[in-house]
Amino acid sequence: MIEILQYGFMQNALLAGGIASVLCGVMGIYVILNRLVFIGGGIAHSAFGGIGLGYLLGANPLIFAIIFSLATALGIGAVSERSKVSFDTAIGVFWAVGMSLGIVFVSKSPGRAPDLFDYLFGNILAVSYFDIKIISALTLGMIVLVALFYKELLILSFDPLYGEALGLPVFRLRLLLLSMVALSVVVLIKIVGIILVIALLTIPGAIGRQHAKNLKGIMILSILLGISFVSAGLLASYHLNTPSGATIILAASGAFFVSTIIAR
């Protein structure tokens, strides 16, 4: 491990991975408890529209991915709540629209067509200092929101009907949670890519839920697991010359299967 730390890009990768692990540890359990895994995938693919628009306008694609992700999360929540459209149908529609817009924007981008491999499958080794600042700001914002609305999000996750009886604005809280999931997805796109983003967001929380006894314990264990997966995946990808994002997910998946066997 000490050998790879001599490279600046590897230092950035470990720093970004550590910050993202904190975010996954805090948000992952909410994704699992509220059954938002599928919507996370829809948001991740819809963010491709923002990435394509960023290339078209010659701006940072990550900024526009944030805008598209938030718009998708709020759109899915509003459409499924205020109309007769089911939740999974709304996700499918926004998923398709975002990907289609991304393809159109990329095809209209001036000059040579951009290489989107890093955004689809992730490349944590290409994380820049500017990306780290964005990731850090988003992660800090998520932690602050969770701290401010911890009890409300806890009730929403376990018994939203009880929350309505208490007078909580359940619909607004759900939109807030969807927006937080959207921002979490954007953080992970640069690290593991659109295709693999849900795995890193849910696997640490799933393992933590198997062994910890309360929500805070699950979050802490998930953070530690996420950091371990990122470190092990980066180390393995360096020595095996394999894609870093996929290697991180394989390390996390292997730990999940072992944990599942032990938890039985």
Per-residue model confidence as pLDDT tens digits over 251-261: 999 999 999 99
Cβ–Cβ under 8 Å, residues 236 and 247: yes
Supply the range of the domain harboring residue 94. 4-263
Question: pLDDT (tens digit, 9 = 90+) per residue, 88-107?
Answer: 888 889 989 999 999 899 88
Res 163: pLDDT:
85
CA–CA separation, 22 and 28 (whole Å): 10
Is a pLDDT exceeding 90 seen at residue 228? Answer: yes
CATH of the domain at 151: 1.10.3470.10
135-161 pLDDT, tens digit per residue, is 888 889 889 999 999 999 999 888 888
d(CA 238, CA 251): 14
Q: What angle do CA 248, 43, 69 make, to 5 degrees?
A: 110
Rounded to two decimals, the pTM is 0.85
Which of 154, 145, 175, 143 lies closest to 39, judged by CA?
A: 175
Number of separate domains in the chain: 1
- Of 217 and 117, more confident: 217
Average pLDDT, the chain: 86
Angle between helix axes 150-158 and 8-33 (nearest 10 degrees) is 50
Work out the percent of the chain whose per-residue pLDDT is above 70.
Answer: 96
pLDDT band at residue 113 using 50, 70 and 90 as cut-offs: low
